[in-house]
């Protein structure tokens, strides 16, 4: 009787372990970022944004963020007519102007000043200064938006390229 009771207890024990293992789901890591680097995160971007790139200058001691926003530079061609046609297809607004950010929301951190200048005929350059890190921004341009964060002080270059429409 004691042996059969011991066998029932052991079998029940192993049955519970097997049942628990089958019901246990391994934890999944929820990544809420599209792109994560050592010191930056890209949380989201709208569908008309082709790419967002991050780089940090290792030489500079300044705290600045440069954001280049616009269309990719056209591939140089030997035929000037083809180059004109390629550039002519890249339109963001009806008048063909280079896109700008209509609104910049500061989620975390701060910047004291933003300067807008023309980087190329296809892109604008935004220079953010007077920074407090980590700097989490949501940038809006018409229907397009980018949600990103830079976690470490320094000189950052962020490239945001729109798709060719």
* pLDDT of 85 strictly over 80: no
What predicted TM-score, i.e. pTM, was given to this entire model?
0.70
Kindly tell me if the per-residue pLDDT of 160 is higher than 70: yes
Tokens 């990544």 correspond to 31
- Establish if 111 belongs to a structural domain: yes
Find the domain containing 68 and state its range. 29-162
Residue 75 has pLDDT above 80, yes or no: no
**Structure token digits, residue 148:** 């990103």
Is the pLDDT assigned to residue 86 strictly greater than 60? no
Mean of the per-residue pLDDT values of the chain: 81
* Mean pLDDT to the nearest integer, 121-128: 95
* pLDDT-derived band at 133, boundaries 50, 70, 90: very high
Q: Is the peptide bond before 134 cis (omega within 30 degrees of 0)?
A: yes
Whether 158 is in a domain gets the answer yes
Q: Number of structural domains, the chain?
A: 1
Domain assignment present for residue 83? The answer is yes
Determine the length of the chain. Answer: 165
Assess if residue 118 is contained within a domain. Answer: yes
Asked, for residue 119, whether it belongs to a domain, the answer is yes
Q: Identify whether 21 is part of a domain.
A: no
Edge-to-edge order in the sheet of strand 113-118: 49-57, 155-162, 64-70, 123-129, 113-118
Between 35 and 90, the more confident residue is: 35
Task: Give the pLDDT score at 35.
Answer: 83
Region 74-80: mean pLDDT is 58
Residue tagged 């049942």 (tokens): 19
Whether residue 28 is predicted with pLDDT greater than 80 in this model: the reply is: no
Does 117 score more than 80 pLDDT?
yes
The pLDDT of residue 97: 78
Domain annotation covers residue 151: yes
The pLDDT of residue 16 is: 57
Select the more confidently predicted residue: 41 or 24: 41
Domain membership flag for residue 155: yes
> Is pLDDT of 84 > 50?
no
Low-confidence winner among 102-106, 119-123, 149-153 (lowest mean pLDDT): 119-123
């Amino acid at each position: 009787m004691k042996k059969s009771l011991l066998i029932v207890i052991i079998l029940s024990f192993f049955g519970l372990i097997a049942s628990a293992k089958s019901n246990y789901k391994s934890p999944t890591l929820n990544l809420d970022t599209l792109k994560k680097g050592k010191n930056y995160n890209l949380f989201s971007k709208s569908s008309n944004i082709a790419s967002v790139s991050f780089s940090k200058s290792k030489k500079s001691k300044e705290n600045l963020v440069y954001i280049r926003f616009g269309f990719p530079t056209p591939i140089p061609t030997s035929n000037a007519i083809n180059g004109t046609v390629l550039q002519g297809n890249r339109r963001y607004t009806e008048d063909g102007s280079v896109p700008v950010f209509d609104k910049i929301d500061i989620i975390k951190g701060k910047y004291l000043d933003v300067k807008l200048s023309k980087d190329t005929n296809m892109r604008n350059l935004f220079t953010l200064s007077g920074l407090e890190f980590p700097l989490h921004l949501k940038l809006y341009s018409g229907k397009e938006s980018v949600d990103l964060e830079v976690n470490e002080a320094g000189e950052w270059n962020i490239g945001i390229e729109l798709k060719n429409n």
